[in-house]
Amino acid sequence: MFQRFRRTRLNKHLRSLVRETTVSVDDFIYPLFIRSGESIKTEVSSMPGVFQMSIDEILKECDELKKLGIYSIILFGIPDVKDSIGSDALCENGIIASSIRAIKDRHPDMFVVTDLCFCEYTDHGHCGIIDEVNETVNNDATLEISGQQAVIHAKAGADMIAPSGMMDGIIETLRSSLDGAGYENLPIMSYSTKFASGYYGPFRDVAESTPSFGDRASYQMDPANRREAINESVSDELQGADILMVKPALAYLDIVRDVKDNTSLPLAVYNVSGEYAMLKFAGMNDLIDYERVVMETMIAFKRAGADIIISYHAKEVAKMLQKKN
Ligand code: PBG
Ligand code: ZN
């Protein structure tokens, strides 16, 4: 008599009918790391399955992604030369601008998102221009060059800009720079709630962006703060962001739900490098059923309220979904 829940679980088709959350290949953005040169495809030791690639290899990778049904990518550039202000990021022939042009030329159907920050381009590894006195990033000086960087991405053909540096006022600044240059229709996905996290460790290996002194705690958020986490995202919505984000994802699913409940904008999660590495190495050591745990994790992001998942697992998930169908 009191078996109502059990009854809906007995049959696999009925389980599908009543399932509340689904994961689709359309939910994903796949990160790519690009450096200059030719025929370069170097696996990152801390992230098996993730590579630094030269542009020619990236173009081949896009073919493979499309076969899997993945059309959205986010680009990270690793320049040959780094300096104090990250000049490569401000140059029309820099690694990112060149990559965007090459990708859009060969794959106009790909949706190209660019990570907008300076930590991969500066010799000190911080996310902007340094204020020598406070030994951290000078917020307003960084805003000025961020506007230039956004226009460079836009001119090269980017489909969406994703500022990740957590500078105060960045969305307003980028919106007005883009509008001023005639890119009123270019969307901005803000890394709106980004925590100062140990989970970025492997990314800093692959992007070669570990700060040479200090840390990012003056501009990234304290993991202990929930109200501030909501406010950071709401503030970016008010400044004109089109999509919000919580990053990292897995240890912050409560925040994902909080932000979702406080905005009507689409919400992304960034399933970061350390989260990927944990599952990858556990799987490689047969400690977990890797595919099952990956899928369970993706479902958890969606259930918490994410509309978009940025993940190094995207290709694996696409393959799993293909197998299922
Ligand atoms: C750059 C940036 C970082 C990530 C995305 N953009 C690193 C950082 O803030 O140190 C992290 C991504 C990951 O760990 O996978 N600001
Ligand atoms: Zn940065």
- Among 272, 273, 279, the mutation site with the greatest number of ligand 1 atoms within 8 A of its Cβ is 272
307 pLDDT more than 90: yes
127 CA → ligand 1 middle, Å: 10
Picking from 131, 129, 139, 138, the residue whose alpha carbon sits closest to that of residue 168 is 139
Full DSSP string of 286-305: TSS-HHHHHHHHHHHHHHHT
Q: How confident is the model at residue 51 (pLDDT cuts 50, 70, 90)?
A: very high
Of residues 12, 66, 155, 247, which has the active-site annotation?
Answer: 247
Q: Whose CA is closest to 191, among 44, 74, 92, 27?
A: 74
Q: Are 237 and 265 in contact (CB under 8 A)?
A: yes
194 assigned to active site = yes
Give the number of the atom of ligand 1 that is nearest the alpha carbon of residue 127. Answer: 16
Collapsing DSSP to helix, strand or coil, 69 comes out as coil
- The per-residue pLDDT for 157 is 98
| Identity of the amino acid at 323 | K
Cβ 171 vs Cβ 178: under 8 Å: no
- List the alpha helices (DSSP H) in 68-116: 95-106
Whether residue 91 has pLDDT greater than 80: yes
Closest CA to 77 of 140, 137, 149: 149
Name the residue with tokens 């002194």: 213
| Tens of pLDDT, residues 95-119 | 999 999 999 999 999 999 999 999 9
pLDDT band at 210 (very low <50, low <70, confident <90, very high): confident
Q: Which ligand is nearest to the CA of 86?
A: 2
Q: What is the dihedral of CA 136, 138, 139, 144, to 10 degrees?
A: -140
Closest residue CA from atom 8 of ligand 1: 200
Tokens of 135: 């030994």
- Neighbour count for residue 110 (Cβ, 10 Å): 18
Cα–Cα dist 283/56, whole Å: 31
**Which domains are assigned to the chain?**
19-324 (3.20.20.70)
Contacts of 93 (CB under 8 A, 6+ apart): none
Q: How far is the CA of 167 from the centre of ligand 2 (A)?
A: 10
User: Model's pTM, two decimal places?
Assistant: 0.96
Q: How much is the pLDDT for 285?
A: 98
Residue 293, token pair as written in the block: 């745990």
For residues 11, 17, 19 and 23, what is the CA-based torsion angle, rounded to 10 degrees?
Answer: 110
Contact 135, 127 (CB under 8 A): no
Centre of ligand 1 to C-alpha 204, Å, is 7
The pair of three-digit structure tokens given for residue 32, joined into one six-digit string: 């790519």
**Where does ligand 1 bind, in terms of residues with CB under 6 Å?**
115, 117, 119, 127, 164-165, 200, 203-204, 272-273
- Give the position, in ligand 1's atom list, of the atom nearest the Cα of 120: 1
Work out which ligand 1 atom sits closest to the CA atom of 194: 9
Distance CA 57, CA 53 (A): 6
* pLDDT tens digit sequence for 132-171: 887 788 999 999 999 999 999 999 999 999 999 989 999 9
pLDDT of residue 217: 84
Task: Examine the residue annotation and report whether 324 is marked as an active-site residue of this protein.
Answer: no
Q: Which of 29-43, 202-216, 223-237 has the lowest mean pLDDT?
A: 202-216
